[in-house]
Amino acid sequence: MHANSPDTSPLGKASEYPDAYNPSLLFPIPRQAKRDELGLHGTLPFFGVDLWNAYEVSWLNQRGKPCIAIATFLVPADSAFIIESKSFKLYLNSFNQARLDDAQALSAILQKDLSAAAGAPVQVTLTEAGNFQQLKMGELSGLLLDRLDIEVVDRHPDPDLLKARHDEAAVEETLVSHLLKSNCPVTGQPDWGSVQIRYVGAPIEQEALLKYLIGFREHNEFHEQCVERIFVDILRQCKPQKLAVYARYTRRGGLDINPWRSNFSSGSLPSNLRNARQ
């Protein structure tokens, strides 16, 4: 058993912000424990990435002048570990007084440290202040489930709600909801997100799907784990031929986490456009 668990992470504990670069601040948590709950053993039914954006990245040049950037990290879904977000924030802040040659030097250190913590290669992209105007915003595309007038009773995810009309012809459909909310499993703080579900298969009952998604409202799991639960529950209950689930979560501590899981390739990753709530 791995010693690192959410309860032993920096979450929910008083922390001193470091004044020197310290990669040991990163706190990896094994993915497999939660995947065991979902009955996922051996070959995963999906591939994907956790797409992180960090908006509070700073370091010093060799003359002591501060530099800033926005960082994007791609953590592969088949990595052994997720990186707990508060530890990630503390680690990034450990660069605040570090003197480096340039952004490329920072990127190389980040890639080395984060890949070691995740147990798989992590891609790092830094956008410096002079290029901030290149960053765009946009919303998840798809038919909005939130238009439906439904009665909600359960506030925990119930996969038995999910249904598809297998007596009808298969469809290709993209559905979106902005009503995803779950809670941090340690602090209980709310995590707010939007979710996009793309699938090919028997038509999924939209009202039932929306009730299921709203059911995460009092559910305690990390972002990555919620998205994998949604993917697995839809795959098992509705049996689509193709399925992709992508969630964009609002930021906390200068970080947003946007997990994507899919069982088919479109030839590219989902868009990293920041939405209105991010």
Per-residue pLDDT of the chain (278 residues; tens, 9 = 90+): 456 766 665 655 566 778 899 999 999 999 999 999 999 999 999 999 999 999 999 999 999 999 999 999 999 999 999 999 999 999 999 999 999 999 999 999 999 999 999 999 999 999 999 999 999 999 999 999 999 999 998 778 999 999 999 999 999 999 999 999 999 998 889 999 999 999 999 999 999 999 999 999 999 999 999 999 999 999 999 999 999 999 999 999 999 999 999 999 988 899 999 999 99
5-8 long-range CB contacts below 8 Å, 24 or more apart? Answer: 5/29, 5/33, 6/84, 6/185, 6/186, 6/222, 7/186
pLDDT computed for residue 6 by the predictor: 65
pLDDT computed for residue 149 by the predictor: 97
pLDDT computed for residue 11 by the predictor: 54
Catalytic residue annotation: 184, 191
pLDDT computed for residue 1 by the predictor: 45
Q: How many CB atoms are closer than 10 A to CB 96? A: 17
Rounded CA-CA distance 25/177 in Å is: 35
Fold agreement between 6-134 and 143-262:
yes
CATH no., domain 6-134: 3.30.1130.10
> What residue segments make up the domains of the chain, in order of their start?
6-134, 143-262
Any idea what DSSP says for residue 216?
G
The answer to whether 49 touches 244, Cβ cutoff 8 Å, is no
Rounded CA-CA distance 93/67 in Å is: 13
Domain 143-262 classification at class level: alpha beta
What's the half-sphere exposure (Cβ side, CA atoms, 13 Å) at 136? 5
